[in-house]
Homo-oligomer: A and B are copies of this chain.
């Protein structure tokens, strides 16, 4: 059972994990250095704990205690209880969903672990927007994908906003970082995946044709602004496009991913 600790000062040093949540740069450093991440909202906090992440502490206003009692019952971490006004002072914003938890990061799984038994995987190159990362992982999980692989420069799936947009799917869908950018796609081909890059390249075929009948598929998506690098575009086994109306240049990357996952799941 988590110990309930009443807090009456915003500068209480025990709240260090929860400071200034709107300051993205500060949070990135703090979370990396201390090996922690934040989950926000009753549903997402529960999913993080069920997903096997160990809580360092919880922070919430009294009225959220009941809703999370099942989670608190089985944890030994302290639960800091404070007024909503005080919570806002600490975090820098109004905590709509009421409950926060700070959890321990875990070592990233190896590529072998993540790909074991996988038939459909998403491979993301340099997606820097946390909301896009979260939306893509949520879509991948909902549409039956088995894993997500992130190029070294992709945004952190355990950043608070990514977790929130993913509705906690980052805790259930296996993911890891690719150790090597340059040969990432040939390495997947060597493991028996057909790598299918979504792109506007001239030799791209409609995505349903590109994935038809394939066994193991790796769908490859590029960054928001510039799409895939030339290296990844060229080193993919196939190039595919989502057919679009005349005069429209592109779909948002999260929308394109949802469509491509849907089509690929039905190959």
* Residue of chain B at shortest CB distance from A139: B255
Residues in B whose Cβ lies below 8 Å from that of A135: 252, 254-255
* Residue of chain B at shortest CB distance from A207: B262
> CB of A144 within 8 A of chain B?
yes
Residues in B whose Cβ lies below 8 Å from that of A245: 141-144
Contact between B251 and A139 (Cβ–Cβ < 8 Å)?
yes
Residues in B whose Cβ lies below 8 Å from that of A165: 252
Per the 8 Å Cβ criterion, residues 208-245 of A in contact with B are 242, 244-245
Alpha-carbon gap, A131 to B165, bound state (A): 13
Tally of this chain's copies: 2
Per the 8 Å Cβ criterion, residues 157-174 of A in contact with B are 165, 167, 169, 172
> CB of A7 within 8 A of chain B?
no
Interface string of A176-208 (1 = CB under 8 A from B): 000000000000000000000000000000000
> CB of A248 within 8 A of chain B?
yes
Known: A138-B252, A142-B248, A242-B262. 12 other contacts (CB 8 A): A138-B251, A139-B255, A142-B244, A142-B245, A142-B250, A142-B255, A144-B245, A252-B258, A255-B257, A255-B258, A256-B258, A259-B262
Would you list the 5 A-B pairs with minimal beta carbon distance, nearest first? A255-B258, A142-B248, A144-B245, A259-B262, A142-B244
